[in-house]
Amino acid sequence: MKVGVGGTFNVLHRGHRALLDKAFEIGDAVIVGITSDRFASAGRERLLPLERRRAELETYLRGRGGNWTVSVIDDESGGAINRTDIAALVVSPETRPRAEEINRKRASRGLSPLLLVPVPHILAEDGMPISSTRILSGDMDRDGRMLRPIRVMVGSDNPVKVEAVCNVMSKVFPSLEVSCTAVATSIAEQPFGEQTRQGAVERAKASLGNADFGVGLEAGVFELADGLYDVQYCAVVDKRGLVTIGHGSGFRYPPEVARRVREGKSVGRVFEELYGEEDVGRREGAIGLLTKGLLDRTSLSEQAVLAAMVPRIRQELYR
């Protein structure tokens, strides 16, 4: 099967390589269209000359081997409307609408539609698609590694939460800037059940601003068969609006704590009443007191943050 794939290939990056590799995977012959300088210059601040773009593209294709040809395209269809020798097009999220329009025009001319094979965005470390524009601006390299610190905003001024986010994110990203901001949410002072997850998401979204990631942490209580449990949720949102969520391990509250919380008091207030622990949520947390220091709230929060980052750490498995 002969497969077509096209693009500007302004700077050949990992996203382009994914498109090309998919074309070779499904086809025994590949036609690669590269846009002319005239066609590609519209809407771009910086465009590398066709000769340079083509040379880099062909270097990669020679390394791939196989049966391929490169042709210059000067319009949105790239000649695919009338071609009968191509059976499929490999498309990105940006080029799919154009490919669907090509199929509509082919149908109007009595030609069979082309099979459209989508390849999702390849994301950079900041959760946004890798792009030639961002590479040329010095924001990232061709593989999506950021050339500036990742900016993270935590939706709370609680030092325990901020420390937990710093500890986890510093292991994920080599260069990091973490800030925090107090945010308001629609949930009660003491979240119950699903309110916990909702609070984490609201905190993350409210904190994002101009950061790469907004992070929300919310601890809540869950009524289970044998008692009242504490579970902390974390939500991480990026500039695309994608939210990933995780939670840490849960632990059961003592019966008297559970009874008073069910009556409407917050966990923090109950611990102050029963154990004289003032502002426990901003220090070692209830878990610190209940485990005699074997586990503190920072470590418990780190579990939730790391769990929320799992789909981002192994993004290739979650696309």
pLDDT in tens, 105-151: 999 999 999 999 999 999 999 999 999 999 999 999 999 999 999 99
Domains identified in the chain, total number: 2
Cβ neighbours around 72 below 10 Å, total: 13
- The residue ranges of the chain whose pLDDT is under 70 are 277-283
Domain boundary among 136, 162, 183: 136
CA pair distance 220, 304, nearest whole angstrom: 13
In a domain, residue 142? The reply is no
Q: Residue 284: its pLDDT value, please?
A: 73
In a domain, residue 194? The reply is yes
Q: Residue 61: its pLDDT value, please?
A: 97
CA pair distance 235, 226, nearest whole angstrom: 27
Q: Which domain holds residue 72?
A: 2-136
In a domain, residue 141? The reply is no
Cβ atoms 116, 88 nearer than 8 A? yes
* Contact partners, residue 284, CB within 8 Å, separation at least 6: 293, 296, 297
**162 and 117 fall within a common domain:** no
In a domain, residue 144? The reply is no
Q: Residue 44: its pLDDT value, please?
A: 82
Domain boundary among 107, 136, 165: 136
In a domain, residue 89? The reply is yes
**Which backbone phi and psi does 143 adopt, to 5 degrees?**
-100, 5
Q: Residue 276: its pLDDT value, please?
A: 75
Q: Residue 47: its pLDDT value, please?
A: 93
Q: What CATH number is attached to the domain comprising 216?
A: 3.90.950.10
Q: Residue 318: its pLDDT value, please?
A: 87
**99 and 193 fall within a common domain:** no
**165 and 90 fall within a common domain:** no
